[in-house]
Chain A
Amino acid sequence: MALAAEVPLTLLGAGLGAVLRYALGGWVNHRLGPEFPWGTLAVNVLGCFALGLLEGAAPRDAVLPFVLGRGVLAGFTTFSTLMLETLNLALSKEHDRASFNVVGSFSLGLAALLFGVYLGAEVVE
């Protein structure tokens, strides 16, 4: 269970993660949008990769993984925006893009996470 010291740090970390998502997602969307929500995809895949690194490296310390994983990275990545943007694509009758948004986000996120785990374990060794 969460310790007293972890919770405030995790909340601050999540705030920071949200701001990073706002900045990076907004920038990517401006560069590549608005035909497809690339910003959210980029943020989610990057967040999965970073979480994989963290899991793979498996630091002994208990506070840091909690603050980074459940705070910064959980706040950085988002599920609700992914769903809203998928719905928006589906309502625009862009069914291919809507399905890619869900399936592609999941597959790329999973691949990034597994690659991160592998890389993190390699680095620690």
Chain B
Amino acid sequence: MPTVVAQATLRPRSELECERLIRLAHRRGIASATAYRGPDDGDAPIFLMLLDETEVLEEFLHELRGAAPEAPVSVVREEAVHVSPSDFLRGGVLEPRPFRAEARHAAWVFAGGALGAGARLLVEGMASRVAPFHGVFPFGTMAVNVAGSFAIAIFGTLLFERFVEERERMFWVLGFLGSLTTFSSYVLQTTEGWEASPFLGALYAGGSVVLGFLAALLGLRLTRRLLRWH
């Protein structure tokens, strides 16, 4: 009795969605769920390939279409001549590797984090020297938070397209940009601003988030457009 296998291919819209769908496939015991870089014909060059016996995969596809309704799925069926390893289709699921902090990565994160804080202190110091009202409306901190959101979206897009090495990600994204921008100071400054004037406090809290989000969106769009010119 020959085994019929089915292969489903779909294109997730973002890296997060891709990870989510792989995790879902793992949880449902799909034999293989692999993300790979496909031919670049537009938006996201990451494809997701699922492989299992036809009945198992088709049952999963119902759930998959619900989880990612806008990702078009194409399915092909092939007769498997040889399955290796022999238990591959029977629960031979690859589990995601557990997270382990690595010393060489930590060193890059540390260096980037120190440098990012230096840049933040420099901008905040200059801003408070230029405008004494920086204590009530800390636009220097707001500026580094918004600029950092812009830059991290550029790195995030390049990372998605596999242009950024792991070491660069540790130094620039987790280290430099993570430390350049700050959430704890942002929340504290909001309470301080609120005490001086609720309007300024709300403007600072809302403005940081709205500008930060728009900056990230701009960074992503700009990077995608520039990459397409290659």
Contacts and interface: CB of A to CB of B under 8 A. Distances in A.
A5 to B, nearest CB: 14
Interface in A1-50: 1-2, 7, 10-19, 21-23, 26-27, 29-30, 33-35, 44, 47-48, 50
Given A14-B116, A18-B175, A44 B183 contact: yes
Contact of A70 (B12, B156, B185): B185
A106 to B, nearest CB: 7
Contact residue range for chain B?
A: 35 or more
B98 A17 contact: no
Interface string B187-230: 11011000000000000010011001101110010000000000
A71 B121 CA distance: 9
Candidate in A1, A22, A44, A55 with the most chain B CB atoms within 10 angstroms: A22
Contacts of A71: 117
A84 B152 contact: yes
A113 B96 CA distance: 35
B9 interface: no
A7 B229 CA distance: 43
B178 A15 contact: no
Nearest to A21: B178
Interface in B19-45: 19-20, 23
Contacts of A11: 114-115, 117-118, 121
B125 A2 contact: yes
Contact residue range for chain A?
A: 35 or more
The 7 closest A-B pairs by CB, nearest first: A18-B113, A14-B117, A30-B99, A79-B181, A77-B183, A15-B114, A80-B148
23 contacts: A10-B121, A13-B117, A16-B110, A18-B112, A18-B113, A18-B116, A19-B106, A21-B174, A23-B101, A29-B99, A30-B96, A34-B19, A34-B20, A51-B188, A75-B179, A79-B212, A82-B212, A83-B149, A83-B212, A84-B153, A92-B17, A102-B213, A113-B191
Interface of B: 12-17, 19-20, 23, 70, 96, 98-99, 101, 105-106, 109-118, 120-121, 125, 145, 148-149, 151-153, 156, 170, 173-175, 177-188, 190-191, 205, 208-209, 212-213, 215-217, 220
Given A50-B184, A92-B13, 8 more contacts: A14-B114, A21-B174, A22-B105, A70-B185, A87-B220, A89-B16, A91-B14, A109-B187
